[in-house]
Amino acid sequence: MEDRYTSAQQYALNFDFRAFVFRLISYWKWFLPAILLGVYIVYQQNIRKEFPYTLTASISVQEDKNPLFTSNTSLIFNYGGITGKIQDVLLNLRSRKHHEKVVDSLNLCLNYLKDGRFHKIDVYKATPFTFVGDETAFQVIGRPIKITFIDADSFQLSYDFGETKQVSVQNFKTKDIKQIPVNESAFSKTFAFNEYINLDFFKGSLVKVPDAKIVTGQEFYIQYNSFNSTVSQYKGQFRVINEGGSLVNLRLSHKNKAKIVDYLNASVEILDRDLLQRKNQYAINTVNFIDKQLARVRNELNKKADSLNAFKQRNNIFDIQSESATLVNKIETYETEKKVLEESLLYYDLLKSYLETSKDFTNFPAPALQGINDSNITNAIGQIIALSGEKSKLEYSVREDAAVFNDLNRQIEGLKQVIYESISSNKANIAFQIQTLSKNIAAVEREFSVLPENQQKLMGIEREYLLSQNTYNLYLAKRGEADLVKASNTSDIVIIEPAKDIGQGRNVVNLNIRYVFAIIAACIPIILIAFIITFFDRKIHEPNDLEVLTKIPMLGVVGRSNVSGNLAVLRMSNSPVAEAFRAIRTSLQFIYRKQKESGSKTVLLTSSISGEGKTFCSINIASVFALSGKKTILVGLDLRKPKIFDDFNINNDTGAVNYLIGQATVDDIIQKTEVEHLDVITSGPIPPNPSELLIGSNLDDLISELQSRYDYIVLDTPPVGLVSDALELMSHVDATLYVVRQDYTKKDMLKQINDKYKKGEVKNISLLYNFYNNKSKYGYGYGYGYGYHNDTHKKTGWLKRFKRK
């Protein structure tokens, strides 16, 4: 892992940015069509872009405006004030349930379309007809039905579903969806307006709009979309913004302006209706509760009245003495107080029942006639309302099983326990007060014992009658209050500005910036490819690369040769490549003079791997020495892969291997060539142990013998990157040329020879840059003072200017 990381680091550090830039320049022929293609695609997208409209509506959320609301008639605990109401309104407007009501009310699942330039256009409320669908039927969804007018009274209905075997249909009343098979993939039939269309998946009739003009041949499309997708579409484009205070703005974007107007206004209307209905519901529940109590008290009152009248008639009693009246008044007072306390117990029971059976406490109804005054209870209720509001907000953004819901539920349950304890405590206190009043009533009733028996019975009957009548009057008054509250209730929503089409334009966006992104997007893949290729390209592409990779000096640069075979100097002696080898010959002679070599000179050529032109350079260096009149011999010591003999039309039957194993003399292995002063020793048969032969004493004898006969000895040896034979031979030569080929030799291949050079194990070594092309695939070139020439390219004017720079 560490080695791979180090290698990656080295790749990054050795990244050739200059080569990357020139590679990009060389890819110009790919940039141009890519940019043109990107611009064309964006152009086609731009002309097809259909910008939506955006309209707004504004509402204000007000405090309760009912002047009849008092502390005793209020039918709702609303501890949040105006802020709580605004949050309630926002939650309602953002809820899916609200949007489902709006979509249902406007029948927005049904779309009317017509052909546009590039796509079908929504023509909501702009068709000369309307489709009245069968509410109980299943209608096809996502498939357009074509309507073509034939005349003022008939039209052609058609569709083509292609190879579809079944379609999706939905009942928009129950919202059920199912799949049904398609018996006919293509259909066409003429119908009259108002005629019932009874297809398997499309049922209803087309009704002409009054005074609408029917144009023969005009085409429209009817398409149902699924209810859920339609709701999601409008909910996703709907925005609710509270800009502070009680003002709420509704905003909707859509491609059809008439739909926006209807949708926003319908949203406000449905919100207003729902809030008012919920507010009235509390009053309705209260009235129902009072009516039940009135019916019970009315029955009791009738019974008491009948009993009182019957007793008076039987006993001819028509008046009560003042003393009796006083006792009756006391009992009535006690009974009234007792009745109020008993009602309080009922209120507490109702509150407890509501807490135990309800799950949502965002708005806290209290169908009691009077509020509960216990501060502990009212404070706890306020906290429950706040926590319920927070829980309602989170339901739209947080999963139901989230930990935050568990925490909120625990807090609500804790507050409910506080209320339960307060209710129990208050009920115990009320029960004690009722018990005290009962004792007082019993004491007063004992005073009746001193009165005559008939008067006692009469007063008892009359007392019960009066108590029932007082209770009935109390309930009757409270019911009147509830009826007044219900009748005078108004919504807390005030429409500040309804949605209206006043000629607003589309939300036009400057799409020219897309062309910039298209050009960038078109260039990025090419740049990325160039970067990746450059990053992972480890080949040497120019002589300057060697200055970074090695400290070994460069002796010369040889260009690409157009001559077939390796005899470039002999066949085209005046070619630039021949001149390059003559320059190398001069450089070698300079090295020999510097080393003060006298007599025969030896030069060894090797490379990293096979294919880098080592043999080509060996043959041509030997050729230029021979053409200068010097006795030269070329020795093929690449025993594993002999090559020299083919170019000189000589055989390889006998060569250096035969001498090294003692089968032949020097004269036996030397072969003459057609070139004067140039002899060749081929490698001979491939031996089983080439390395052992090259390090033996026979090789020293061979070189010594050749030095006595020739002025220059050129050794063609194996690549050092594959075997170590050439390294062993370097100790026998005066100069070593290490051949590097452009676009072939990899940078990592120089590591071995660099290590040897740094350690001093090889000396008198120079680099020979082969197959140089001054106009390579990167589009750049260099000239060097090493005697570089190229057969195939000439420096152009811009290249000369680049060289000078």
- Tell me what the mean pLDDT of segment 104-113 comes to: 93
For residue 285, being part of any structural domain is answered with: no
57 is a domain residue: no
Q: Are residues 429 and 315 in the same domain?
A: yes
Lowest mean pLDDT among 217-226, 318-327, 328-337: 318-327
Residue owning tokens 């405006």: 65
State the pLDDT confidence band at 511, using cuts at 50, 70 and 90: confident
Residue 71 lies in a domain: no
Higher pLDDT, 44 or 85: 44
Please calculate the CA angle 402-403-408 and round it to the nearest 5 degrees: 105
Does 443 have pLDDT greater than 90? Answer: no
From 433, 458, 489, give the residue that closes a domain.
489
Reply yes or no on whether the pLDDT at 509 is more than 90. Answer: no
Give the model confidence (pLDDT) of 26-66 as tens digits: 888 888 898 899 888 888 887 777 778 899 998 888 765 55
- For residue range 399-410, what is the model confidence (pLDDT) as tens digits? 656 677 778 888
Rounded CA-CA distance 791/439 in Å is 133
Tokens representing 574 are 């005046």
Does residue 552 lie within any of the structural domains?
Answer: no
Q: What is the pTM for the complete model shown?
A: 0.53
388 and 480 housed in the same domain: yes
Domain-terminating residue out of 225, 253, 285: 225
Which range among 46-50, 255-259, 327-331, 477-481 shows the weakest confidence by mean pLDDT? Answer: 477-481
* pLDDT-derived band at 805, boundaries 50, 70, 90: very low
pLDDT-derived band at 298, boundaries 50, 70, 90: low
| C-alpha–C-alpha distance, residues 519 and 523, integer Å | 6
What is the side-by-side order of every strand in the sheet holding 186-192? 120-122, 110-115, 219-224, 145-149, 154-160, 186-192
Together in a domain, 408 and 521 = no
**568 and 619 share a domain?**
yes
Handedness of CA 249, 252, 257, 261 (dihedral sign): negative
* 512-562 residue pLDDT tens: 888 888 889 888 998 998 888 888 888 888 888 888 888 999 999 998 888
**Is 90 exceeded by the pLDDT of residue 649?**
no
Q: How many CB atoms lie within 10 A of CB 671?
A: 19
Domain shared by 450 and 589, yes or no:
no
pLDDT higher than threshold 90 for residue 338: no
The CATH number linked to 726 is: 3.40.50.300
Asked if residue 485 has pLDDT above 50, the reply is: yes
End-to-end CA distance of the chain: 44
What is the structure's pLDDT at 456?
Answer: 52
- On whether both 407 and 325 belong to a single domain, the answer is yes
pLDDT higher than 60, residue 117: yes
Which sign does the torsion angle of CA 450, 451, 454, 456 carry?
Answer: negative
Q: Which two tokens stand for residue 94?
A: 């953002």
Give yes or no for residue 288 having a pLDDT over 50.
Answer: yes
User: Does pLDDT of 574 surpass 80?
Assistant: yes
Closest CA to 622 of 678, 669, 561, 706: 678
Choosing from 178, 210, 225, the residue where a domain stops is 225
Q: Confirm whether 466 is domain-assigned.
A: yes
Query: How confident is the prediction for the chain on average, in pLDDT?
Result: 79
State percent of the chain over pLDDT 90.
25
C-alpha to C-alpha distance for 546 and 554, rounded to whole angstroms = 8
Q: Are residues 602 and 641 in the same domain?
A: yes
pLDDT at 626 over 60: yes
Same-domain check for residues 519 and 480: no
Q: How confident is the model at residue 74 (pLDDT cuts 50, 70, 90)?
A: very low
Q: What pLDDT, in 10s, does the model give residues 671-720?
A: 998 889 999 999 888 888 887 888 778 888 888 999 999 999 999 988 87
pLDDT exceeds 80 at position 452: no
- Same-domain pairing of 28 and 153: no
Range of the domain at 214: 110-225
Q: Are both 196 and 306 inside the same structural domain?
A: no
Is 334 or 326 the better-scoring residue by pLDDT? Answer: 334
Task: Work out the average pLDDT over 208-224.
Answer: 91
Q: Report the range of poorest mean pLDDT among 255-264, 387-396, 782-791.
A: 782-791
Identify whether 701 is part of a domain: yes
Give the tokens for residue 767.
């680099």
Which pLDDT belongs to residue 625? 93
Confidence bin at 799 (pLDDT 50/70/90): very low
**Whether 587 and 516 share a structural domain:** no
- Determine, yes or no, domain membership for 374: yes
Give a yes or no: residue 105 inside a domain: no
Look at residues 283, 361, 274, 277 and name the one whose alpha carbon lies nearest to residue 92: 274
Residues 574 and 432 in one domain: no
Banded pLDDT at 800 (limits 50, 70, 90): very low
Q: Quickly count: other Cβ atoms within 10 Å of residue 711's Cβ.
A: 17
- Give the pLDDT confidence score for residue 798 in this predicted structure: 41
Given this model, what pLDDT does residue 318 score?
A: 46
Q: pLDDT value at position 104?
A: 92
DSSP sequence for 692-748: HHHTSHHHHHHHHHHHHH-SEEEEE---TTT-SHHHHHGGG-SEEEEEEETTTSBGG
More confident residue, 475 or 5: 475
Please count the structural domains in the chain: 4
